Amino acid sequence: MDANSILAELGIAKLADGGDMDVASPITGAVIGRVKTHGEKDVDAALARARTAFAQWRDVPAPRRGELVRLLGNRLREKKDALGRLVSLEAGKILQEGLGEVQEMIDICDFAVGLSRQLYGLTIASERPGHRMAESWHPVGVCTVISAFNFPVAVWSWNAALALVCGNAVVWKPSEKTPLTALAVDRIMQDAIAEFGSAPAGLTSLIIGGREAGAQLVADPRSDIVSATGSTAMGRAVGVEVARRFGRSILELGGNNAGIVSKSADPELALRGILFSAVGTAGQRCTSLRRLFVHESVYDDTVARLKTFYAKVPIGNPLEKGTLMGPLIDAQAFSRMQQALQQAKDEGGTVTGGERVEVKGCEQGFYVRPALVEMPAQTPVVLTETFAPILYVLRYSDFDDAIAANNAASHGLSSCAFTNDLREAERFLSAAGSDCGIANVNIGPSGAEIGGAFGGEKETGGGRESGSDAWKGYMRRATNTVNYSSELPLAQGIDFSIG
Ligand code: UN1
């Protein structure tokens, strides 16, 4: 299937043509669409419509709101193949991962439909006779979603599916690198809304644009919740701006994720886990494995096995069967990778791989061999997140030192330990263990399921999306006390009687 037939199948052929912004595929560098960008007035109108829609949507019973998300999930099932291909085409990830991303959308829709009947609050024992205390959860308003190129559709769905069942309206600004997949998802959403029949106009909308559009959305107090995925620099700006107006932000920023390979690790399993997390998605997941601490007794063997695989990992057109690694997103990503590798050498590292690879028919794409870099210590480059397939490998002798090394990064998204030693595994997961939002044993740091809360600590931003009770981030809590007695006892036994 070529680009045009995918766009036609997704019903966006017209929208992907005749606009003012070119969209290039990282696979070949060729322009695959020209989309229309939105300006200040469009952003203003989207927020105004979303506020009006919210005022109606909050009154729709949550299980009925779930019905809309169920229809969205059904349509995603129908379009999974075409949308998965478009994700590959526009973001450059291999087809398996493009399809996997759409599957994540379907999964979160299922999760949200169930959730629409489970937005539970607590009942709380009152200290006063004839009183009842309880918590109610209410929608907040407009949830503005800002997403990155590397998960161009799933991130929207983690936020939107929850935000919608929770009773909010949703405005989405995707990365300017991936507007086509966003247009396709918006089209699917609008079709689901049409089928649903009674959703208010403007309940979900899409803003295509760059930095200015994002800044406008973030600064506007009508964006009650801002859920932003991207770099720490972006998150710092967003977080401060939203805090300035006491808005709510859900930040999912970078990760400098580490893994530990202990002396008791299953070598085969560890190798497979490391490869998927370090090489998969060409190292462009925020959960990608970037630092590896290997016990000195298994270091040489582990590094030798990794080097063998790194030399033969199938790099190529991500739409072709058998490819495991597609291109980097663009020239800038390539030059950042090369700069990091140079810095690593300057800081005493030994680099294997990392060079540009020519792929027949895709000469304009930025394909690279993944880089394995043996480092003497956690130098500044190791402690910097570079969004590229670079794996820094270091030796350790004491497990607690490896945990400390894991925690030395300024980010705190994901982490893992490969070990068959129960004491090590539990220590890694304990309060004295990994300080990340995700801590795994015997699987890599990437590829999380939607059922868990997704996000991390420190410079990762602290937000949580997706499963568990992340839905609470999209609702406001009201504590209600009802007095059904004929007395008015005061809390804390205060006597306030007159005369
Ligand atoms: C991201 O890279 O922004 O756990 C998200 C994972 C995916 C999500 C990655 N489920 O790797």
Domains recognised in the chain with CATH numbers: 3-253 (3.40.605.10), 257-441 (3.40.309.10)
For residue 322, with 0-12 CB atoms within 10 Å meaning exposed, 13-18 middle and 19 or more buried, which class applies?
exposed
Q: How far apart are CA 85 and CA 80, in angstroms?
A: 8
Query: Is 460's C-beta closer than 6 angstroms to any atom of ligand 1?
Result: no
Contact of 136 with 477, CB cutoff 8 Å: yes
How far, in Å, from the CA of 470 to the mean position of ligand 1? 16
Pick the atom of ligand 1 nearest to 448's CA: 4
Q: Residue 472's closest CA among 198, 133, 119?
A: 119
- In the numeric block, the tokens 């609702």 are attached to 475
Q: How far apart are CA 335 and CA 423, in angstroms?
A: 42
Tokens (6 digits) for 360: 């027949």
Catalytic residue set = 252
pLDDT in tens, the chain (499 residues): 789 999 999 999 999 999 999 999 999 999 999 999 999 999 999 999 999 999 999 999 999 999 999 999 999 999 999 999 999 999 999 999 999 999 999 999 999 999 999 999 999 999 999 999 999 999 999 999 999 999 999 999 999 999 999 999 999 999 999 999 999 999 999 999 999 999 999 999 999 999 999 999 999 999 999 999 999 999 999 999 999 999 999 999 999 999 999 999 999 999 999 999 999 999 999 999 999 999 999 999 999 999 999 999 999 999 999 999 999 999 999 999 999 999 999 999 999 999 999 999 999 999 999 999 999 999 999 999 999 999 999 999 999 999 999 999 999 999 999 999 999 999 999 999 999 999 999 999 999 999 999 999 999 999 999 999 999 999 999 999 999 999 999 999 999 998 8
Could you tell me how many helices (H) and strands (E) the chain has, helices first?
14, 23
Query: Is 448's C-beta closer than 6 angstroms to any atom of ligand 1?
Result: yes
Spatial CB neighbours of 354, under 8 Å, sequence gap ≥ 6: 337, 338, 341, 368, 369, 370, 371, 373, 390
The predicted model scores a pTM of 0.97
How far, in Å, from the CA of 254 to the mean position of ligand 1? 11
Reported as type and span, the H/E element at residue 124 is strand 123-124
